[in-house]
Chain A
Amino acid sequence: SSELTQDPAVSVALGQTVRITCQGDSLRSYYASWYQQKPGQAPVLVIYGKNNRPSGIPDRFSGSSSGNTASLTITGAQAEDEADYYCNSRDSSGNHHVVFGGGTKLTVL
């Protein structure tokens, strides 16, 4: 089955731009969805589809995709963006499974 690979940790200075990446074969067929999870809370969807934000998600969050790599970009990172971020998609091999990346811990310095 397919897997999604993320860097375990990324840091960004306050107000700067950071990109979190996700790699996997399924991303050649599926847009990645992205989730933010803060300690003790359920994940929250921040990006889905080509580059769509649910209501209430700030426009500093954006998504992009190229080949087998999807990216979540935070432009002008804020202290409240410090969290774990997970990518997710359906497995494209036809087995209808769902996969999550291992997660990226974002630290805002």
Chain B
Amino acid sequence: QVQLQQWGAGLLKPSETLSLTCAVYGGSFSGYYWSWIRQPPGKGLEWIGEINHSGSTNYNPSLKSRVTISVDTSKNQFSLKLSSVTAADTAVYYCARAAEGSGSYFYYYYYMDVWGKGTTVTVSS
């Protein structure tokens, strides 16, 4: 059973860099996208970005200028860095495993089947 364990600093000051890491236990690292998602207090889910085992990344265009997602396949870990944080970046941050492929009748599928427990990050002076 695949599990994701995430950690990182929970309290930041404005302008600092958020740094979180997610470790993958019990499964293959290849063949999936490894994603970061956040949820501001009382709001919905927002996709931050993803990386695959070879290091190919996709980022939410609204955050792209500040986000870096990296992978360490030797440790089965992937990481998120978000620079120049403000109070608007206060949220619960989740890591997740995503699978994608082609289904029937030219339809594709994409889903996130394993999630970390979440890390609460607060940005406050």
Q: Are A43 and B111 in contact (CB under 8 A)?
A: no
Q: Are B47 and A31 in contact (CB under 8 A)?
A: no
Main secondary structure of the interface of A (DSSP, over half): strand
Q: Shortest Cβ distance from A51 into chain B, in angstroms?
A: 11
Interface residues on A, range: 20 to 34
Q: Are A90 and B100 in contact (CB under 8 A)?
A: yes
B:14-62 near A, CB below 8 Å:
35, 37, 44-47, 50, 58, 60-61
Output the nearest chain B residue to A30 by Cβ-Cβ distance.
B108
B contact residues around A1 at 8 Å (CB): 61
Contact of A49 among B94, B109, B115 (CB under 8 A): B109
Interface residues on B, range: 20 to 34
Q: Are B47 and A42 in contact (CB under 8 A)?
A: no
Contact of A31 among B44, B45, B94, B103 (CB under 8 A): B103
B104 within 8 A of A: yes
Q: Are A97 and B94 in contact (CB under 8 A)?
A: no
Binding site for A on B (CB under 8 A): 35, 37, 44-47, 50, 58, 60-61, 94, 98, 100, 103-104, 106-113, 115-118
9 extra A-B contacts, CB within 8 A, seeds A97-B60, A98-B58: A1-B61, A30-B107, A30-B110, A31-B110, A45-B113, A88-B45, A97-B47, A97-B61, A100-B47
Binding site for B on A (CB under 8 A): 1, 29-31, 33, 35, 37, 42-45, 48-50, 54, 84, 86, 88-90, 92, 95-103
